[in-house]
Amino acid sequence: MRWLQYLALPLILFALWAGLSYTGRVPAILLPTPGAVWDSFVSLTVSGDLLYHTLASGFRSLAGFAIAAALGLALGLLNARSRVSTRVSYLLLEAVRVTPPLSLIPLLILWLGIDEAPKIAIVFLASFFPIYMNVVTAVKAVDPKLEEAAKLLRFTKSERLHYLTLPSSLPGILTGLRLGFGYSWRALVTAELIAASSGLGFLISDSAEFAKTDTVFVGIITIAVVGVIADRVLYAAFEAVGRRVGRAV
């Protein structure tokens, strides 16, 4: 019964889509039938094009996200503990944070060329700040009483980080990572719409130029499905990490 609740709205939307498209109330160039979209999906799958574009997008997203996660965690831990570091980096971080990553695409292309680097840079910029800000907030929210206890027990900095800071702030950190990945996926596909020769965003924009609306739908649905699956995998992995750290502590 619970699954029916999850599927109720998608099924209603699918029925509405089928009704409008099969009856011809909406032109096929604007709203292709589910059958046409399925045929396009099968064709792209058999040819290998869909897998190729999906893997291209996946690689860029994971590469940019991994860099953002590493730097966001490191700088977040540092700035949460050091006022000097926070003051030194504040203006630069704020300036970059309020600048839309997509507005930097022309500059990144000039600096980094037209290959993978500018797309990965866009992913990094989009996903870094949700991770960084959640790390800072989570670390600063650690119970002061636990901090005092660590001082009384004469914990070293590494012991305090391992036994106190990371376990206590882990939920917030993992939330930041999950949000960061979501931002990275959306920003990447948007960047591919503008400047790319592969990837799901490119597949959509290229198909739209030739009025292949059924292929556009395949690209959009693939983006949504891959994004949801990746988010659920991350959520399950983070839940497992949280339980393991909780037992270890």
Whole-structure pTM value: 0.85
Confidence of residue 246 (pLDDT cuts 50, 70, 90): low
Q: Is residue 116 part of a domain?
A: yes
Residue 192's pLDDT is 85
Q: Is residue 57 part of a domain?
A: yes
Q: Report whether pLDDT(1) > 70.
A: no
Range 52-62 average pLDDT? 94
Q: Is residue 22 part of a domain?
A: no
Residue 245's pLDDT is 61
Q: Which residues form the domain of 155? A: 47-248
Q: Is residue 187 part of a domain?
A: yes
Q: Is residue 197 part of a domain?
A: yes
Residue pointed to by tokens 């600096």 = 111
To the nearest whole percent, how much of the chain has pLDDT over 90?
Answer: 49
Q: Report whether pLDDT(247) > 70.
A: no
CATH for 217: 1.10.3720.10
Q: Report whether pLDDT(168) > 90.
A: no
Confidence of residue 226 (pLDDT cuts 50, 70, 90): very high
